[in-house]
């Protein structure tokens, strides 16, 4: 779903179609009230300053008056709300990523570690926990974000303004008034690579620290075993997570985004259910490759 266009909506009062132009604050509040929802503060500000996009308002009203979980999330978390408005499959993609990655990571770990799986169980646990957090980070950072209205001019540096105007993903579709060239898309790849690397380092440090603590406690109270492996270096392991996220994950998820966009603009227009099926298939293949890739990278770096 593209939230940038100004689509027609129904007012709920008279059933007549609203105009395609942005809604002013009184009109936006009236339409939201007719749907039984309150207008978020940032939406109200957008409506007052330049007009709230009709498509954004209509989609928000549908989400806010929908199921309990979705309704609560869009009201409580603006970051989740804006991504779900821009992409109707955002929530499904987060769920699919977490579920598929957990299963694929387990299969990949068992396959790669073989007979040493149980003696290296702490590595598996650390990889799984860190992976679950990073799954949400990966899907969230690369997801398109809905713009409620016209952007107001802000006193920000040239670099910050430039970075804020980049697409959310390398293969995001250009929109009216927002055209991105090859240089912009290359800059997006670098920007997301740095963000993914930072997330990987932080989560890797926490996850490996937990795994190391479990290893030391098990050996302290359970005794040493001939199958025990050396406790991995904490800092080096977190740096490996950063390298893996910035290079492998960044590249793979850009490709995933591009393939999903291709499906959305072709097959899914005729068969909407195809978008869900292909998302599962694409992300399953991506996680199989990523799970084995991380183990190989960790062993290459000498941390596992």
Per residue in 84-140, pLDDT tens? 998 989 989 999 999 988 887 787 778 777 777 777 777 777 778 877 888 888 899
Answer yes or no: is pLDDT of 172 > 60.
yes
Answer yes or no: is pLDDT of 1 > 70.
no
Answer yes or no: is pLDDT of 233 > 60.
yes
Asked if residues 240 and 204 have their Cβ atoms less than 8 Å apart, the reply is yes
Average pLDDT rounded to a whole number, residues 167-171: 92
Picking from 58, 56, 62, 65, the residue whose alpha carbon sits closest to that of residue 83 is 56
Q: What is the predicted pLDDT for the residue at 151?
A: 59
Helices (H), 223-272: 234-243, 250-265, 267-270
Q: What is the predicted pLDDT for the residue at 133?
A: 83
Asked if residues 31 and 11 have their Cβ atoms less than 8 Å apart, the reply is yes
- Tens-digit pLDDT profile for residues 181-232: 999 999 999 999 999 999 999 988 988 888 788 778 877 777 766 666 677 8
Q: What is the predicted pLDDT for the residue at 226?
A: 65
Q: What is the predicted pLDDT for the residue at 162?
A: 84
Asked if residues 53 and 148 have their Cβ atoms less than 8 Å apart, the reply is yes
- Tens-digit pLDDT profile for residues 6-52: 333 333 333 434 445 677 777 878 888 888 888 888 888 888 876 78
Average pLDDT rounded to a whole number, residues 261-267: 93
Q: What is the predicted pLDDT for the residue at 19?
A: 40
Q: What is the predicted pLDDT for the residue at 276?
A: 92
Picking from 238, 239, 253, the residue whose alpha carbon sits closest to that of residue 136 is 253
Answer yes or no: is pLDDT of 77 > 70.
yes
Q: Which is more confident, 83 or 27?
A: 83
């Amino acid at each position: 779903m593209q939230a940038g266009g100004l689509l027609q909506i129904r007012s709920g009062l008279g059933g007549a179609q609203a105009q395609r132009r942005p809604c002013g604050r009184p009109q936006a509040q009236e339409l939201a009230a007719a749907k039984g929802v309150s207008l978020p503060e940032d939406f109200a500000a957008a409506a007052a300053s330049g007009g709230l996009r009709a498509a954004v308002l209509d989609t928000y009203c549908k989400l806010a008056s929908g199921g309990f979980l979705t309704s609560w999330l869009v009201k409580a978390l603006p970051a989740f709300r804006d991504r779900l408005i821009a992409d109707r499959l955002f929530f499904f993609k987060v769920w699919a990523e977490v579920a598929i990655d957990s299963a694929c990571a387990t299969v990949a770990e068992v396959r790669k570690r073989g007979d040493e799986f149980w003696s290296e169980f702490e590595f598996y646990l650390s990889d799984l926990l860190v992976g679950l957090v990073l799954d949400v980070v990966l899907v969230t950072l690369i997801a398109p974000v809905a713009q409620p209205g016209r952007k107001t001019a802000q006193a920000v540096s040239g670099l910050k303004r430039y970075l804020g105007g980049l697409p959310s993903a390398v293969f995001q579709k250009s929109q009216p008034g927002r055209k991105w060239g090859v240089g912009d898309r290359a800059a997006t790849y670098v920007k997301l690579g740095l963000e993914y690397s930072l997330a990987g380092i932080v989560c890797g440090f926490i996850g490996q620290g937990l795994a190391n603590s479990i290893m030391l406690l098990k050996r302290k109270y359970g005794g040493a075993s001939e199958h025990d492996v050396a406790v991995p270096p904490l800092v080096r392991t977190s740096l490996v997570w950063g390298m893996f996220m910035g290079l492998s994950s960044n590249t793979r998820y850009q490709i995933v985004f591009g393939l999903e966009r291709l499906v959305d603009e072709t097959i899914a227009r005729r068969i909407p259910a195809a978008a869900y099926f292909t998302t599962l298939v694409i992300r399953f293949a991506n996680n199989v490759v990523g799970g084995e890739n991380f183990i190989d990278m960790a062993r290459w770096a000498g941390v596992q």
